[in-house]
Structure 1
Amino acid sequence: MSPQKSDVLIVGGGFMGAASAFFLRQRGRSVTLLERDQIGQYASGVNFGNVRRQGRHLGQLDLANRSLALWKRLPELIGEDLEFLPSGHMRVCYDEAHIEELHAYAAAPEARELDLEVIAGKALHERFPFLGPEVKGGSYAPHDGHANPRLAAPAFARAAVRAGARVEERTEVAEVQKVGGQFHVTTTDGQVFIAEQLLITAGAWGAKLSQQFDEPVPLETHGPQMAVTEPVPYSLPTVIGVYTRIPEEVIYFRQIARGNIVIGGGYRSRPDMLNRRALVEPRSTINQIEQMRRLLPGAVNLNIIRVWSGIESYTPDSLPVISASGKVDGLFYAFGFCGHGFQLGPAVGDVMAELMSTGQTTTSIAPFDVRRFSTARVGAGCVSGGEALQPPAPPIPLAGDLASLQPRSTLS
């Protein structure tokens, strides 16, 4: 079987890989993308769908701003609608002491494009009367929103194919090596792919490939916990999430136009990496119901109609790996997005295409260099945004009344 050549090989067909393939084609590069299973099957297709900039590490906002500009253009750019809705995003807190932290974040120079508005007390509850009484304050980001994660990676992959890229699903990589200035990738079915540049976008499996090039990345894998309710009249356009240092209080929800409320957060599961499966934790669903009672009391009588999980990868500092290799010319990485990569997807693809085509990028990605794991010790990740496995929670009774789900024109 003759080797198959292209300018760039991409290993991993999630959002980052598919977007990179598309934008590389826009720059005239020949591209082959290899995906072991199906495009967008893992973290890219099962996440919450937040298109959120606020709450991110300040060093990510340059990249997130570039991404939002692309989200706004996606239908004309890729010819498909990912159901992006710039609905606004609220980051609320139960502790009054955290309101000052919301103010500090909003005042940071890096956050100036977010146009954040911090609201507290009576003013908050007058504007968002459906929030529970324990909510003390919040930060409103008018330009953030949400989209459908199940559509994203496949849509970008189809657009890449229409632009001339080659996308191979059900194609598992067996060996990667660099020979005579070119990367040789052999698959389990005996195919050989050759390229001068290699981009690893393999998500939770990215560290296994970087390790082969002596660039270890300490990844942990977790299964996010998601649920969706039966449909009710559409009245909650704003995405709402809790800012907290208590892992089990981390909860977020969004209502889609069809009326269903998507819920995420709380406890996470440990995926079965051998069989590539992640299970739903029943205690997580119970905890989500309890936390929704605090956050959105009117939703607690709704029926949960589906729950799901996926496989996400986390670095110790809660920042992704987006960079050229520090050791091997022509090798690049984009993985380890710590459960908050969905909004960044378009910009990551655009930035990687720019970096791989020109040797530099106009967007700051310095905090995400793979070499940080070999040159410095990293501490714990962002406490306010992360979740952690906790002892099982006791059973929680359901209570509440849907009457508090009132449409509010001020949120539209």
Structure 2
Amino acid sequence: MTGRTTDVAIVGGGLVGAWTAFFLARRGQRVTVLEKGVVGAQSSGVNFGNLRLQGRFPGQYPLSLRSQALWEEFEALTGEDCEFEQSGHLYLAYDAEEHARLESYAEVSESYGLAIERLEPADLRRRWPWLGQQAVAATFSARDATANPRLATPAVMRAAARHGASVRENTRVVDIGRSGDGFTLALANGETLSCGALVNSAGAWALEIAERFGETAPLFPAGPPQFVTEPFPYLIAPSIQAIDGSVIFRQIPRGNVILAGYPRTAADPQANRAPVPPAKTLAAMRALARVAPVLAQCHVIRVWSGIEAYLPDMIPVIGPSQTTAGLFHAFGFCGHGFQIGPGVGACLSEMILDGGTQTPLAPFGIGRFRSATQVSEKFRKEFD
């Protein structure tokens, strides 16, 4: 059995693992990323690519704003292009109740310094005349953006490697144990890896690590149904979302429309599958036609999903273990991890190297789950 050592081992080669490796390696740490498949193949690579600021959980705004600043410097940091487009995000409300919810989102966003533009139906007709006429109100955030999830994580991981990180794909961890003040990881190929600090960014598989150290969370998997249409002349600049969650869509410069439909679909982490039933495609296209009738005749040319990890409070776990010094968790991003990924990686690197971070992370501690709380059937059905 071959043994190696590293300062920090990161289990999970998604966007959070990549950014954590990047910031640690940039500060001279020996970092090893262990990914059971290929980098960015799970939720980090199959999501909508939304870098939305408005409408987030209030306690997430300091982290979210820090992350957006890093996205805005993506090319300078990594030396690569991720198709970052700061074209804004438009939220649409269709009745008085949704309008009130939209206003609540706007007030919270503004309290953290985000500029929110409130729009009436006449404003919508003037600026986006191809939208349907049913919306009663909207809000627009110009700083919101998008990026290509297929490009982003591999680019960050390559940048981490250029700073000296070791990135090991197709490398499965089969056992993890305490070794003095650090950890020893057994790999499926018979190797062992010793490290001083361990980052658990294993996505839907993260509980396998947390539970080895006496911690748990009511984590469950689900898949985000995603669709892309044939290309048509470029028309739509911002991302557009119905606030009821029925549809979100954007057009890329090549002309294709990317859309996501809700509710999510069932996922099986063991089989590594999250198939999208045909009925979800039809539902997504109906929702798209309501919001933008001009797109009603578009043809879907590809459908996909992936495996995301969810928690009942829709708030991720980020921060140090409550039972084991040197262990740090980052999982359960509930479909919102793409935007905050850079900030999470920066914060984890600071916690590991400096003993703490200035970015508030109190709401995200794993200690809020003292036992494996059962997920209600009502909540689960929202993801079937």
Normalising by structure 2, report the TM-score. 0.96
Q: Equivalences for 1:281-320 in 2 at 5 Å?
A: 281-320=277-316
Residue 94 to residue 109, structure 1, CA distance change in 2 (3 Å): closer
Residue 110 to residue 95, structure 1, CA distance change in 2 (3 Å): same
- In the alignment, which of 321, 328, 332 is matched to residue 328 of structure 2? 332
Residue 118 to residue 387, structure 1, CA distance change in 2 (3 Å): farther
Q: Equivalences for 1:8-407 in 2 at 5 Å?
A: 8-108=8-108, 111-244=111-244, 250-374=246-370, 388-389=382-383
> What secondary structure is seen at the aligned counterpart in 1 of 2:337?
coil
Shift of 1:233: 1.2
CA distance in 2, matches of 1:112, 1:349: 21
CA distance in 1, matches of 2:111, 2:145: 16
Residue 7, structure 1, aligned to residue 7, structure 2? yes
CA distance in 2, matches of 1:95, 1:47: 28
**Counterpart amino acid of residue 371 in structure 1:** G
> What secondary structure is seen at the aligned counterpart in 2 of 1:108?
helix
- Asked if the contact 1:58–1:110 (Cα under 8 Å) also holds between the matched residues in 2, the reply is no
Percent identity, aligned pairs only, is: 42
**Counterpart amino acid of residue 114 in structure 2:** L
Q: What do the CA deviations read for 1:331-384 (whole angstroms, capped 9, x no partner)? A: 00111100111111111111111111111111111110010111897998xx9x
RMSD: 1.9
Shift of 1:272: 2.3
Shift of 1:139: 1.1
> What secondary structure is seen at the aligned counterpart in 1 of 2:236?
coil
Shift of 1:110: 6.3
> What secondary structure is seen at the aligned counterpart in 1 of 2:269?
coil
Residue 136 to residue 379, structure 1, CA distance change in 2 (3 Å): farther
CA distance in 1, matches of 2:360, 2:372: 20
**Counterpart amino acid of residue 363 in structure 1:** T
- Asked if the contact 1:267–1:283 (Cα under 8 Å) also holds between the matched residues in 2, the reply is no
> What secondary structure is seen at the aligned counterpart in 2 of 1:129?
coil
- Asked if the contact 2:218–2:375 (Cα under 8 Å) also holds between the matched residues in 1, the reply is no
CA distance in 2, matches of 1:152, 1:240: 22
> What secondary structure is seen at the aligned counterpart in 2 of 1:19?
helix
**Counterpart amino acid of residue 382 in structure 2:** A
**Counterpart amino acid of residue 297 in structure 1:** P
Shift of 1:127: 2.2
> What secondary structure is seen at the aligned counterpart in 2 of 1:224?
coil
> What secondary structure is seen at the aligned counterpart in 1 of 2:194?
strand
- Asked if the contact 1:223–1:311 (Cα under 8 Å) also holds between the matched residues in 2, the reply is yes
Alignment gaps of 5+ in structure 1: 391-412
**Counterpart amino acid of residue 30 in structure 2:** S
CA distance in 2, matches of 1:57, 1:42: 24
Shift of 1:98: 2.2
Alignment gaps of 5+ in structure 2: none
- Asked if the contact 1:322–1:334 (Cα under 8 Å) also holds between the matched residues in 2, the reply is yes
CA distance in 2, matches of 1:171, 1:321: 24
CA distance in 1, matches of 2:289, 2:370: 44
**Counterpart amino acid of residue 388 in structure 1:** E
Shift of 1:57: 0.3
Q: Is 15-24 or 97-106 further displaced after alignment?
A: 97-106
- Asked if the contact 1:61–1:110 (Cα under 8 Å) also holds between the matched residues in 2, the reply is no
Normalising by structure 1, report the TM-score. 0.89
CA distance in 2, matches of 1:360, 1:240: 37
